[in-house]
Amino acid sequence: MSSHSVVIPHSRPTIGTDDVQAVTEVLRSGHLAQGEKVRQFEEELATGLRRRGGVATSSGTAALHLALLALGIGAGDEVLLPSYTCVALLHAVRYVGGSPVFVDIDLDEYNVSPSEVQRRITSRTKAIIVPHMFGMPADLEPLIRLEIPIIEDCAQALGAHYYGRPVGCFGSISVCSFYATKVITTGEGGMLLSDSERILARARELRDYDGRTDHQMRFNYKMTETEATLGLTQFRRLDSFVDRRQSLASRYTAGLCHLPVKLPAAKPDRTHIFYRYVIGVGEAPWLAHRLAVRGIQCKSPVYQPLHRYLNQDGFVHTDTAMRTALSIPIYPSLADAEAEKIVRSVAEEVERREKPSRRVLSLHS
Ligand SMILES: *Cc1c(COP(=O)(O)O)cnc(C)c1O
């Protein structure tokens, strides 16, 4: 039985009085559906990510769907995507009738492996979806050189930089998610960004069904004014959110670096924003259970690898990550005392796990 009455959740949004005030004002204004606030949110995010324009959507999945449609991807077209990521990517590829081709990851950084991407390219490859997993920018440079359209998935990495430039400014198209527990939130929401007027116009055209005389397939993928207002106040605090995440990550690293635990990779010329702080241990489910008993909710950072949904195998690094990776709570609203408790608990549990095995080893030596 646990003596802890308050559980530290794996994630939670960071909502401040400025968020509450701004949303309240919109509610009082009486203008709730897509309008001026949405346009302003699109403009500010596009400026922040150094893109020509943005198209706000009802979710990150909707933005991915529109991105694939805007690139003209359809039946018979192959889309490369890592196997170790959010299943939304797989859904989006299948919505448009494309063929998903999974790619194994680089286990050190949990991002798609550029050499594996290269190995999977065929004459039918029409796009590569590249998520920046857990807030660490993927190695884009070798992928850009392949000259295949890249959809950068920034759902977990808003505010991260690759060679001094913000992630989201590199792909043919970039998509964001503003789900409740993402880096910034609108509750649910997303955005597609690009430098191509043609792509932006196509996405805008498909987002909304009203006021058209033709009967082309369209969606209702619009964002509301309340969501966009929350997105604006959240985005204006992005730098402080990232600072707080990075300072919590430094504490975790300092408290865990002496243990037999795989810590998040650090790469020159890439800034990690620590959307997740993912450690690698012998047996992640065991440690998750031990920490749950102590009132700390940890999670496998990917629910199920994508190749398993389609009964494929041969993704060795993805399978290893599924077995060993554990995401421990990290978010701007995490209190210092909570962070201390987390790092102390992880260290104690890992040490306790290690000791008996060392004894066994020494008996045999
Ligand atoms: C959350 C997430 C999505 C999907 O975004 P939704 O807003 O939940 O539809 C897509 N890709 C990645 C990498 C994500 O983490």
- As a whole number of angstroms, the distance between CA 53 and CA 76 comes to 30
Mean pLDDT, range 269-290, rounded to an integer: 97
Collect all residues with Cβ–Cβ distance below 8 Å to 47 and sequence separation of at least 6.
none
Q: pLDDT confidence of 358, banded at 50, 70, 90? A: low
The pLDDT tens digits of the residues spanning 91-115 come to 999 999 999 999 999 999 999 999 9
Tell whether the model's pLDDT for residue 357 goes beyond 60. Answer: no
| pLDDT recorded at residue 1 | 45
Nearest CA among 358, 334, 224 for reference residue 277: 334
Three state DSSP letters for 11-43 = CCCCCCHHHHHHHHHHHHHCCCCCCHHHHHHHH
Let me know: does 66 contact 200? Beta carbons within 8 Å. Answer: no
| 277 SS3 class | strand
181 CA distance to ligand 1 middle (Å): 10
- For the whole model, what pTM was predicted? 0.95
The pLDDT tens digits of the residues spanning 109-156 come to 999 999 999 999 999 999 999 999 999 999 999 999 999 999 999 999
Nearest CA among 171, 167, 155 for reference residue 302: 155
Q: pLDDT confidence of 168, banded at 50, 70, 90? A: very high
| pLDDT recorded at residue 355 | 75
60 CA distance to ligand 1 middle (Å): 5
Pocket of ligand 1 (CB under 6 A): 59-61, 85-86, 88-89, 131, 153, 155-156, 177, 179, 190
| pLDDT recorded at residue 360 | 52
Q: What percentage of residues in the chain have a pLDDT greater than 90?
A: 93
Let me know: does 182 contact 59? Beta carbons within 8 Å. Answer: no
Instruction: From 153, 192, 223, 278, give the residue whose CB has the most ligand 1 atoms within 8 Å, as the site to mutate.
Output: 153
Buried b (16+ CB within 10 A) or exposed e, 207-226: beeeeeeeeeeeeebbbbbb
Let me know: does 68 contact 98? Beta carbons within 8 Å. Answer: yes
Nearest CA among 205, 180, 207 for reference residue 191: 207
Question: How far is Cα of residue 315 from the mean position of the Cα atoms in its chain?
Answer: 20
Residue for token digits 């494309």? 98
The pLDDT tens digits of the residues spanning 9-40 come to 999 999 999 999 999 999 999 999 999 999 99
Instruction: From 57, 58, 59, 61, give the residue whose CB has the most ligand 1 atoms within 8 Å, as the site to mutate.
Output: 61
Tell whether the model's pLDDT for residue 359 goes beyond 90. Answer: no
Angle between helices 284-293 and 336-364 (to 10 degrees): 130
Q: pLDDT confidence of 354, banded at 50, 70, 90? A: confident
Tell whether the model's pLDDT for residue 79 goes beyond 90. Answer: yes
Angle between helices 238-256 and 336-364 (to 10 degrees): 30
